[in-house]
Amino acid sequence: MQSLLDLYHDGRFYSDNNFRSGYLKILQTALDKKLPGCGIKAKPHIESRIKTLKMKFQTIQEILTRPNCSGFGWDLDKKIVTAKKAVWDAYIQLLESSSRQEINEKQVRLTNELKKIGILIMVECLRTTTLITPDNTTLNVFYSLCDEEREAWVKLFLSGEFK
């Protein structure tokens, strides 16, 4: 973190609220100097850590600034989000409800797409929807196919060819 802060304060590698390209290599060099022989590389080590930090920051920022999320605070000493149990429970319930709604929307959209494949019977549509919806990778594969390829893919998927 200190090396990243040093880059930020240096000014040559940061502008317009973003680090300039090549900053990961500079970080790698800085870490090599501070921790000789550590073997930390810009890709995948530093890049992965930056991605994780961004995700955590976005989650914390959402909790602290999202509408209908009052009751959250920030402990400056411990560097953690604070809230009473009732506030946390309400937030978790909100996330679960949002997640269920998102899954329902995916299922409706996928079922509509599957109905376009004329030879599939309703049971096949429902089974495919149930199996594909929770798996984003499989869902992305399905949507990447053209209409003609989807029918063959679904038949192979239902037969167990892709397991």
Which pairs from 116-124 meet CB under 8 Å and 24+ separation?
A: 116/147, 117/147, 117/150, 117/151, 117/154, 119/151, 120/151, 120/154, 124/154, 124/158
pTM of the model: 0.51
Encoding tokens for residue 1?
């973190």
Q: Where are the domains of the chain?
A: 1-83, 85-163
Chain segment 55-108, per-residue pLDDT in tens: 888 888 888 887 666 788 888 999 888 989 988 888 888 777 777 778 788 888
